[in-house]
Amino acid sequence: MQNPDDILSIEDLTIHYETDEGSVHALNEVSLAMKRGETLGLVGETGAGKTTLARGILRLVPSPPGVIKQGSVFFEGQDLLSLSESKMRSIRGSRISMIFQDPMTSLNPVMTVGEQIQEVVEAHNRDLRQDEIIRQANAMLEMVGIPAERSHEYPHQFSGGMKQRVIIAIALACNPVLLIADEPTTALDVTIQAQVLDMITALKKRLNTAMLLITHDLGVVAQNCDRVAIMYAGQIIELGNLDDIFKRPTHPYTRGLLGSIPSLTKDVKRLSPIKGLMPDPTDLPPGCKFAPRCRFVTEACERAMPEPTHLSETHQVRCILAEAEVRNG
């Protein structure tokens, strides 16, 4: 059931980590599609499976212990999960790139930043001449706001925000169709975060790159994304555009998340947190994964996992209370 407009279409992707302590159900039947040029925010707390999903798309889940149990990842019409390793390698970094969270550890400390960008350009364009590689790498550096003269410097000579810019330059060097950004600004201060996010948004617009933006910060999502997927215990429990999620949040977990954030614009005397903790991923409840923490839990919730219900063309949610509402009009 692929839509020809989608550049990425994930179906029923399930990834487990087989460990001595048992099988960690990191990702459970996740389905998701992305269109060219759009920004999709992937939100969830620690352990929700955001990073496993991102790595799953790029086939970077360490194995062992990671096992892809089922599902497919269609990207530009081909199933990435059935490609050979060398084919996959030619896609990584050129058609799909990834930015990792920690700018301090993603760069090679003994290579100049210029060399690190050139390396990517060269790896994906084997027949380019050396001066052309350098020219392209310098152009990328200028594009992220770093003067090309600094290409001879080493990562330790750059601040955190500058390092993250270098990483963005590397990620965009081959003009990818899809950029996966895993908490790209979490390690940065807010004023620097604002600079970096503005820059990413401007660049992706210019290059018409789609972006999967992984974050735990709903503020970053509201200011930068077109659509939002909320993850909980390895599943997407609510998916919609910004208005769906922020104005008509339906899943009790989404509502709980929004109630947990201290507001800058309203006066709230007391926060309304979600009680309890995320379930143990080696021992997930059989029904709705959120049921043990849910204020509206019913007996039926604990029996079977609710299937995604479409509330509108853009908005879907996995909750039987929403299902009932839709059925009763």
Partner 1 sequence: MADVLLRVEHLKKYFDTPGGTLHAVDDISFDLNRGETLGVVGESGCGKSTLGRTILRLYEPTDGTVYFENQEITSLSNKSMKVLRRDMQIIFQDPFASLNPRMTVSEMIAESLLIQKIFTRKQGPQLRARVTELMDLVGLSSKLINSYPHELDGGRRQRIGIARVLALDPKFVVCDEPVSALDVSIQAQILNLMQDLQDEFGLTYLFITHDLSVVKHLSNDIIVMYLGQMVEKAPAKELFSHPMHPYTRALLSAIPVPDPDYAVDRVLLKGELTSPIDPVPGCRFAKRCPFVTEACTKADIPLREITPGHFVACILV
Which of 156, 270, 328, 329 contacts partner 1 by CB under 8 A?
A: 270
Q: Look at strands 316-317 and 309-310 and give their pairing.
A: antiparallel
Residue 272 in the binding site for partner 1 (CB under 8 A): yes
Interface of this chain with partner 1, residues 245 to 264, rule: CB under 8 A: 246-247, 256-264
- The residues that bridge with 170 in the sheet, in sequence order, are none
- Of 91 and 274, CB closest to partner 1: 274
Is residue 237 within the footprint of partner 1 (CB under 8 A)?
no
- Residues that bind partner 1 (rule: CB under 8 A) add up to a total of 45
- Which segment (18-26, 77-85, 155-163, 301-309) binds partner 1 by CB under 8 A? 155-163
Query: Using the rule CB under 8 A, is 170 a contact of partner 1?
Result: no
* Per-residue x/- track, 12-51, partner 1 (CB under 8 A): ---------------------------------xx-----
Tell me how far, at minimum, the Cβ of 181 lies from partner 1, in Å: 14
Q: Give pairs for 238-244: CB < 8 Å, separation 24+.
A: 238/315, 238/316, 238/317, 238/318, 238/319, 239/32, 239/308, 239/315, 239/316, 239/317, 240/311, 240/312, 240/314, 240/315, 240/316, 240/317, 241/314, 241/315, 244/311, 244/312, 244/314, 244/315
State in angstroms the smallest separation of the CB of 156 from partner 1.
14
CB of 257 to partner 1, least distance (A): 6
Interior angle at CA 85, CA 80 and CA 90, nearest 5: 75
Contact string 47-76 vs partner 1 (x = CB under 8 A): ------------------------------
Q: Which of 8, 43 has the CB closer to partner 1? A: 43
Select from 62-70, 173-181, 238-246, 283-291 the region that touches partner 1 (CB under 8 A): 238-246
Residues paired with residue 214 on neighbouring β-strands, in sequence order: 42, 182
Query: 185 to each of 47, 130, 165, 197, how far by Cα in Å?
Result: 19, 33, 10, 8
Measured in degrees and rounded to the nearest 5, phi and psi for residue 249 equal -65, 135
Residues from 180 through 219 that contact partner 1 (CB under 8 A): 189-195, 197-198, 216-219
Shortest Cβ 270–partner 1 spacing (Å) = 6
Rounded to an integer, what distance in angstroms lies between the CA atom of residue 312 and that of residue 302? 26
Among residues 74 and 154, whose Cβ is nearest to partner 1?
A: 154
Residue placing its CB nearer to partner 1 in the complex, 36 or 216:
216
Helix axes 160-172, 130-143, angle to 10 degrees: 130
Applying the rule CB under 8 A, the residues between 277 and 316 that interact with partner 1 are 277
Q: Would you say 14 and 49 are in contact if contact means Cβ atoms under 8 Å apart?
A: no
Does position 115 interact with partner 1 (CB under 8 A)? The reply is no
42 closest CA partner among 237, 262, 252, 200 = 237
CA 35 – CA 9 distance, rounded (Å) = 9
Q: Which residues contact 69 (CB under 8 A, 6 or more apart)?
A: 14, 15, 16
**77 scored as a contact of partner 1 (CB under 8 A):** no
**Contacting residues toward partner 1, per CB under 8 A:** 45-46, 159, 161-162, 189-195, 197-198, 216-224, 242-243, 246-247, 256-265, 268, 270-275, 277
